[in-house]
Amino acid sequence: MASVLFDRYYFAFSTKMPSSRQGSVSPESSSSRATTCTVTFPPEGMDEEKQPGSQRQSVPESDSETDDEEILDTAWGRHGKIWMWIGIALMWTIFELDHATIYNYQNYAASDFRDIPLLGVLNTAGTIVMAVLKPPIANVSEVAGRAETFIAVVALYVVSYILCASAHNFGQYAGGYVVYCIAQTGMQILNQIIVADITTSRWRGLANGLVNLPFMIIPWVSAFIVDSALATIGWRWGIGMFAIIMPICSIATVIPLVYFQRRIRKAGGRVRKKTTILGFLSKIDLGGMVLLSGGCAMLLLPIALAGNTPDHWRTPWIAALIAVGVIFLIALIFYESRVAARPIIPPHFIKNISLVIAFVVGLLDAFAYSITHTYMYAWVTVVHDFSPRNATFLTYTAGCVQVLTGLATGFIMYRSRRYKWLLVLGVVVRLIGYGLMMRLRGASNSIAELFIMQIVQGAGSGAVGTVVIVVAQIVVPRSELAQATALELLFIYLGTSLGSSIAGTIYTSLFKQRLRHWMGSQTPQSIIDTVYEAITNVGLQPGSSERNAVNHAYSDILRYMTIAALVASAIPMVMVWFLPNLRLNDDHNLATDLAESKNEEESMDQRKEWLQRLRKKVMR
């Protein structure tokens, strides 16, 4: 849930300081982005060929123009951003409501089609689709435009609702659900990009927390909506009604976007250029999209499904898919660095230490959260005899604390203009939390201890999730904002998928062994299979020796998962110390500041080297 929650960011009221520099708009070099335009300025006191290499690494030559903030502010007008924020707030609320209810309706749809066993496979496929399509959709929005891509995503939503609501079998429903996942991931990435487009680096963290506020209410309200819908109109109309709600609500976002794009043309900028089909495919880096999406999908799918196959990891197609996925990702490195005209993953991203740290920390944090929460619901239901309502409350406790902590983190970032030590604090809290979890995830722990553990985890995750998204967005120029945001979310989803997959592998590989260990070798295999297959099949008297044995076996499995999370959370403890601690300001990003800091470091290294040489000469 952490990655899903922190894939929904931002809501801040932003004011930008007008640029003090004047320049001329260059139509030939203006970007094809939907919400930005670019201008070029002559170098100040430095010839182009004399510019330091580090600056060229931070800002690629193709996007070396600086943003004209005055043109952007003029294009938005006096009230443009206010209307944009109203639209974003409405869309995030509907987005949360859609996500919370569709998931529940899906269980009843699969039950009606008598295909409940296929539900896990469908959810796995949907998660992979949502993970791997974020960078391609972000790239399309850069070329086609934010408004145009947003309209296309809403259209996909409507198509998916119609397909799911009118499905006659599970196969038709699954097809509609895949289209829904494409729309879902598109809406996530577009909303985050749009909000990042109109916030400054100083406001960005506070926006992350504010836009997440619907999560404090929607999940709890959605339960009553689902109950009412199932009792009256049924799951089909429960899904189908969003085909009307979603496009109506999207008007509040589409109109300001279209308005902005028209105003930016009148102000002297160009939103995008006319191009041929081949030119469009080159700009969106179709080859890179196929290699990245295909490689990640072929890696994640077998990992997720290996535990459900009879031979597990020995199944031939599991190894084959993983091998092909690795080949695709290796080919991606060569293709992006040598072939792609506009790479979906710019090679210089790898040289940006802030981006690398944000990607890896985001992945490991999502992995640790996912692996410890995948079976938590089942564990508290069996071991602590929680009702479905109380188990749901425990699950959502961490998310609500995460929202509040993210909001507080964003406010502190706004006031202090710094972010590094907040990330250090978040990583420390997460590490301590997983250490405590080794003690507080047992059969004998009290209910209060379970909720305290969720509060600690939510607090750490709120700080980490807020900072890594902000870092990924502020250390790149505006022209690379969409790519950096999409890649950060891709790594978060990869961490979530890997966490749930490895949790499933631990469960399928070790749970029967632990049941046999605690229940004794004389226990019939049928009883062990019954406990293994479903949480509702335990059927043993609470307090009996058999039930206690089941509780200990479940707790052992959760402890193994916690050990994996503890190891994963220790790695960020080392990495965060290498993160530059730039000063947040009222500019859109800090890419220029990062380049200047690199130049200063290189100059310092050169001075040290010169002094060492001088010292050697004097000693001679």
Quick: pLDDT tens for 26-64. Answer: 333 333 333 333 333 333 333 333 333 333 334 443 343
Q: What is the rounded CA–CA span in Å between residue 276 and residue 386?
A: 60
The topology (CATH level 3) of 61-284 is Growth Hormone; Chain: A; (1.20.1250)
Q: Looking at the predicted structure, is the pLDDT value of residue 449 above 50?
A: yes
* The pLDDT value given to residue 356: 92
Q: Looking at the predicted structure, is the pLDDT value of residue 531 above 50?
A: yes
Q: What pLDDT band is residue 134 in, cutting at 50, 70 and 90?
A: confident
Q: How far is CA 405 from CA 29, 65, 270, 472, 475, in A?
A: 42, 37, 40, 19, 23
Better-scored residue on pLDDT, 501 or 596: 501
Lowest-pLDDT choice from 49-58, 477-486, 581-590, 608-617: 49-58
What is the 8-class DSSP label of residue 567? Answer: H
> Which of these, 120, 231, 220, 240, lies nearest to 180 by C-alpha position?
240
Q: What pLDDT band is residue 525 in, cutting at 50, 70 and 90?
A: confident
Q: What pLDDT band is residue 396 in, cutting at 50, 70 and 90?
A: confident
Amino acid type, 514:
R
Buried b or exposed e, range 490-507, using 16+ CB within 10 angstroms: bbbbbbbbbbbbbbbbbb
Q: What pLDDT band is residue 12 in, cutting at 50, 70 and 90?
A: very low
* The pLDDT value given to residue 71: 61
- Tell me the average pLDDT across 540-560: 77
- Tell me the average pLDDT across 351-356: 90
* The pLDDT value given to residue 77: 62
Q: What is the rounded CA–CA span in Å between residue 177 and residue 174?
A: 5
* The pLDDT value given to residue 568: 93
Q: State whether residue 212 is helix, strand or coil.
A: coil
* The pLDDT value given to residue 33: 36
* The pLDDT value given to residue 594: 59
Q: What are phi and psi of 188, to 5 degrees?
A: -60, -55
Q: Looking at the predicted structure, is the pLDDT value of residue 316 above 90?
A: no
Q: Looking at the predicted structure, is the pLDDT value of residue 10 above 70?
A: no
Q: What is the rounded CA–CA span in Å between residue 428 and residue 440?
A: 18
Both tokens of 619, joined, read 């000693």
- Tell me the average pLDDT across 399-405: 88
CA dihedral over 492, 469, 273, 257, signed as positive or negative: positive
Lowest-pLDDT choice from 472-476, 506-510, 595-599: 595-599
Highest mean pLDDT among 318-332, 335-349, 376-390: 318-332
Q: Looking at the predicted structure, is the pLDDT value of residue 7 above 70?
A: no
| DSSP codes, 89-141 | HHHHHHHHHHHHHHHHHHHHHHHHTT-GGGHHHHHHHHHHHHHHTHHHHHHHH
* The pLDDT value given to residue 156: 95
* The pLDDT value given to residue 614: 60
> Which of these, 104, 97, 109, 108, lies nearest to 245 by C-alpha position?
97
The per-type count for the chain, helices as H runs and strands as E runs, is 24, 2
- Tell me the average pLDDT across 540-555: 73
Both tokens of 344, joined, read 């979906």
Lowest-pLDDT choice from 26-30, 281-285, 460-464: 26-30
Both tokens of 56, joined, read 């060229």
| DSSP codes, 545-564 | HHHHHHHHHHHHHHHHHHHH
- Tell me the average pLDDT across 207-214: 80
Contact assessment for residue 285 and residue 340, using Cβ atoms and an 8 Å cutoff? yes
Q: What pLDDT band is residue 539 in, cutting at 50, 70 and 90?
A: low
* The pLDDT value given to residue 6: 39
Q: What pLDDT band is residue 468 in, cutting at 50, 70 and 90?
A: very high
Q: Looking at the predicted structure, is the pLDDT value of residue 152 above 90?
A: yes
Mean pLDDT of the chain: 77
DSSP-based helix, strand, coil % in the chain, nearest 5: 75, 0, 20
Highest mean pLDDT among 9-13, 354-358, 518-522: 354-358
Contact assessment for residue 444 and residue 560, using Cβ atoms and an 8 Å cutoff? no
Give me the half-sphere count of Cα atoms (radius 13 Å) on the Cβ side of residue 273.
14
Q: Looking at the predicted structure, is the pLDDT value of residue 559 above 70?
A: yes
* The pLDDT value given to residue 43: 37
Q: What is the rounded CA–CA span in Å between residue 11 and residue 203?
A: 9
Q: What is the rounded CA–CA span in Å between residue 361 and residue 382?
A: 33
Better-scored residue on pLDDT, 154 or 230: 154
CA dihedral over 165, 166, 169, 171, signed as positive or negative: negative
Q: Looking at the predicted structure, is the pLDDT value of residue 75 above 70?
A: no
The neighbouring-strand residues paired with 39 are 25, 66
Lowest-pLDDT choice from 252-256, 299-303, 612-616: 612-616
Highest mean pLDDT among 195-199, 237-241, 521-525: 237-241
| DSSP codes, 149-163 | HHHHHHHHHHHHHHH
Give me the half-sphere count of Cα atoms (radius 13 Å) on the Cβ side of residue 356.
12
Q: Looking at the predicted structure, is the pLDDT value of residue 243 above 60?
A: yes
Q: In sequence order, which ranges of 475-590 are alpha helices (DSSP H)?
A: 481-519, 525-533, 545-575
Highest mean pLDDT among 55-59, 84-88, 319-323: 319-323
pTM across the whole model: 0.76
Residues 160/164/168/174 CA torsion (nearest 10 deg)? 80
* The pLDDT value given to residue 606: 58
